[in-house]
Structure 1
């Protein structure tokens, strides 16, 4: 875990030339922890890092070489989660009254995983005491809104340049994930909000690519996609959003958070996935299932 007093909240890693209609986004791989946040937390060391999507930015690092931008968070998910509505806030966490427009009743808030999370994985409470309401609002203004503004610009640019666009929202999931009715744990889950955020052809192709590489891949269960996938996916307008969840046990030791020896092999598999998805979309760029009608 890096701890430095000042840093860029997020990065846009631009390709030398934007040649494919894709935008890659890694909102939960940030691992720079503000010292003031650490001072507020009852958790330290590896414990506070349990909610990271560990090294997902590195897994998708070939985006630029393939011709697509990669947006990645440097701030940690435990500090603020951009894969939520802007004001999914738990009133139990704060001193003072939240604004009337705050969504205090969502299932994610109830589970402790709102825009300002109350817990990290394994239900570990983050904060030693309540936070001022203004701090939550300040984080939304300083972190959440600039991040989404950057993501919107990338998506809009892609849409204008190519006539359609594909957002790949990149995440990881615990290695002990269970899927009802399945006999084995999935290596990858592709989420398309049950067909509402991307064309079925696109999500089926994503699953097929991983299966042909020998991985276990499924769609939507139990992760169909979060706020980002739902908010930006507009297939009728030629804007498709897929969420990809990668089983962490493939590439990281979930106890020590060290990269496994197979880490380069997983990077290579994901790079192949990205390349094959780009090739697939190029073949069907004029198809109304992908392009705006």
Structure 2
């Protein structure tokens, strides 16, 4: 396995020796390199600021290159910049001076403080001591967000050209206390396909079945159907599929201390087994019209 940093220390591509699968993996929220000036400008301590991380998801899915697929891994933290948003979902309450006219200031995610440059981390904890300059936010978008998506786009396009179709797996984690509304079910995994619009239903059903056969509780799209990445990159009619996979953090991390649980390796091994079986399915049936472009 070789790492291609794309001359950007904020993220890296973990490349297989040879890409043999029409899969691309992405871990946009597991970054844990916190800039010192960012920490100094935050009202949160070093533990609280990490509440928005998808803790160790890059490690949980780290088998991807060995299976024959590239994996893009963010090193910057989600609290600093969220690439699973539109490029300019910005909250005017955070900034000194007016935002550009093209900024989306009215999205539900902005209202919740979870825009491209987040205002809060989980549990609605305010990040910053004071307002920041608009230029600082725009600089993060220009120097990190746009290069990150350019890199992800290249991987997806490369895969689509090589195999005739591509499947993007967007890797995430969710709080351990998540319940499915109306049922009280505490899922171990959630498979998101934007309610069937970002990927073939057969892909979602297969992923769900494989995990259930392993003894996990799995639901689709509720309460997480997929974010900007899934929506933006998933074009099933063109042979471009995007699935979001959420792993329940309660399975593998102590959410109070953020230390790995003793079962971390067990969960990691189970995910590796699932990905191997899912890769076999994609490889075997991928040429079918349900996955390839018409």
CA RMSD in angstroms comes to: 0.8
Q: Which residue of structure 2 aligns with residue 273 of structure 1? A: 274
**Normalization by structure 1: what TM-score?**
0.97
- 1:182 deviation in Å? 2.1
* In 2, Cα distance between equivalents of 1:172 and 1:26: 10
Q: Which residue of structure 2 aligns with residue 4 of structure 1? A: none
Q: Which residue of structure 2 aligns with residue 107 of structure 1? A: 108
Q: Which residue of structure 2 aligns with residue 166 of structure 1? A: 167
Q: Which residue of structure 2 aligns with residue 69 of structure 1? A: 70
Segments of 5+ residues of structure 2 without an aligned counterpart are 1-7
Q: Deviations over 1:37-74 (max 9, x none)?
A: 11111112110000000000000000010000010100
Runs (4+) off by over 3 Å: none
Q: Which residue of structure 2 aligns with residue 90 of structure 1? A: 91
Q: Which residue of structure 1 aligns with residue 287 of structure 2? A: 286
Q: Which residue of structure 2 aligns with residue 143 of structure 1? A: 144
Query: Aligned pair count?
Result: 287
Q: Which residue of structure 1 aligns with residue 3 of structure 2? A: none
**Structure 1 segment 74-223 matched on structure 2, within 5 A:** 74-223=75-224
* In 2, Cα distance between equivalents of 1:282 and 1:93: 46
Q: Aligned to 2:24, what secondary structure does the other structure show? A: strand
* In 2, Cα distance between equivalents of 1:176 and 1:47: 17
- 1:178 deviation in Å? 1.3
Matched, 1:259 2:260: yes
- 1:218 deviation in Å? 0.6
Q: Deviations over 1:171-202 (max 9, x none)?
A: 00000001112243000000000000000000
Q: Aligned to 1:259, what secondary structure does the other structure show? A: coil
Q: Which residue of structure 2 aligns with residue 27 of structure 1? A: 28
Segments of 5+ residues of structure 1 without an aligned counterpart are 1-6
* In 2, Cα distance between equivalents of 1:191 and 1:251: 21
Q: Aligned to 1:45, what secondary structure does the other structure show? A: coil
* In 1, Cα distance between equivalents of 2:119 and 2:157: 33
Deviates more, 1:7-16 or 1:122-131: 7-16
Q: Aligned to 2:243, what secondary structure does the other structure show? A: strand
Q: Deviations over 1:232-269 (max 9, x none)?
A: 00000000000000000000000000000100111111
- 1:138 deviation in Å? 0.5
Q: Deviations over 1:192-239 (max 9, x none)?
A: 000000000000001001100000001000000000000000000000
* In 2, Cα distance between equivalents of 1:66 and 1:242: 18
Cα pair 2:39 2:46 within 8 Å, conserved: no
* In 2, Cα distance between equivalents of 1:183 and 1:72: 33
* In 2, Cα distance between equivalents of 1:102 and 1:45: 30
**Normalization by structure 2: what TM-score?**
0.97
Q: Deviations over 1:125-167 (max 9, x none)?
A: 0000000011010010011000000000000000000000000
Q: Which residue of structure 1 aligns with residue 5 of structure 2? A: none
